[in-house]
Amino acid sequence: MVQPTFTKFFGVFLFVAIALILVPFGYGTKMMQLALERCFTDPLVTAVLVEPLASNTRAHRFYERLGFHFVEQRWFGNDDCFVYRLNREDWHHENTIVS
């Protein structure tokens, strides 16, 4: 497997935590769509990476529905994570929320 070179990415750290009671209403999706819109507004941003815990299968499905693709499993300190990537060319900005 080709190892990703994370040094080529402009870093934006986002932490999206959604209370379980809000999940059925789509707030997490809307928040992530707005965050992606914000990230890809900058022409220097070519991809967005997320690192959910390997055990968090709900997060994996969430990111996959948004177009992210699995890259690799990686340890960040004591956290076993999956790295997902969304390339600019795979991003469907027509699905974003317009305010």
Residue-by-residue pLDDT tens, the chain, 99 positions: 455 554 455 455 555 555 556 667 777 888 888 889 988 888 888 899 999 899 999 889 989 999 999 999 999 899 999 999 999 999 876 555 444
Classified as helix, coil or strand, 44 is coil
Which helix (H) or strand (E) is 79 found in, with range?
strand 79-87
Cα dihedral 40, 84, 33, 64, rounded to 10, equals: 140
Question: Is the model's pTM score more than 0.85?
Answer: no
What are the structure tokens assigned to 54, written together?
């390997």
Q: What pLDDT score does 99 carry? A: 42
pLDDT of residue 57: 93
- Domains in the chain: how many in total? 1
CB 50 within 8 A of CB 64: no
Residue 92 domain-assigned (yes or no) = yes
> Domain for residue 33, yes or no?
no
- 75 in a domain, yes or no? yes
Distance between CA atoms of residues 43 and 63, nearest Å: 22
Examine residue 22 and state whether it is found in any structural domain, yes or no. Answer: no
